[in-house]
Amino acid sequence: MFFLVLSDSHGTPNLIKRAWNIQVSVPDGIIFLGDGLRDLWAFSEEKPSVPIFAVRGNCDWTGSLPNGQLVPISDTYTFEGVRVFSAHGHTYSVKSGTDSLLKAGSRAKANVILYGHTHIQETHWENPDGEAIQLCNPGSLKDNGEFATLTLQNGQALIGLGQLTDIF
Tell me the pLDDT band of 151, cut-offs 50, 70 and 90.
very high
Average pLDDT for residues 46-51, to the nearest whole number?
92
Question: What DSSP assignment string belongs to 106-130?
Answer: HHTT-SEEEE-SS---EEEEE-GGG
Give the integer Cα–Cα distance in Å for 85 and 106: 9
Confidence at residue 167, expressed as pLDDT on a 0 to 100 scale: 62
| pLDDT one-digit tens code per residue, 71-115 | 999 999 999 999 999 999 999 999 999 999 999 999 999 999 999
25 — pLDDT class (breaks 50, 70, 90): very high
Q: Are 138 and 5 in contact (CB under 8 A)?
A: yes
What's the mean pLDDT in 3-25?
Answer: 96
Calpha distance 151→28 (Å, rounded):
10
Nearest to 30 by CA among 12, 53, 55, 48: 53
**How high is the mean pLDDT of the chain?**
93
3-state DSSP of 8-66: CCCCCHHHHHHHHHCCCCCCCEEEECCCCHHHHHHHHHHCCCCCEEECCCCCCCCCECC
Instruction: Please compute the mean of the pLDDT values over residues 152-167 and round it to a whole number.
Output: 92
Give the residue among 75, 78, 74, 52 at the shortest CA–CA distance from 65: 52
What percentage of the chain has pLDDT greater than the value 70? Answer: 98
CA angle at residue 50 from 45 to 56, to 5 degrees?
A: 75
Is 123's pLDDT higher than 60?
yes
Superfamily of domain 2-163: Metallo-dependent phosphatases (3.60.21.10)
Provide mean pLDDT across the span 37-65.
90
Q: Where in the chain are the domains? A: 2-163
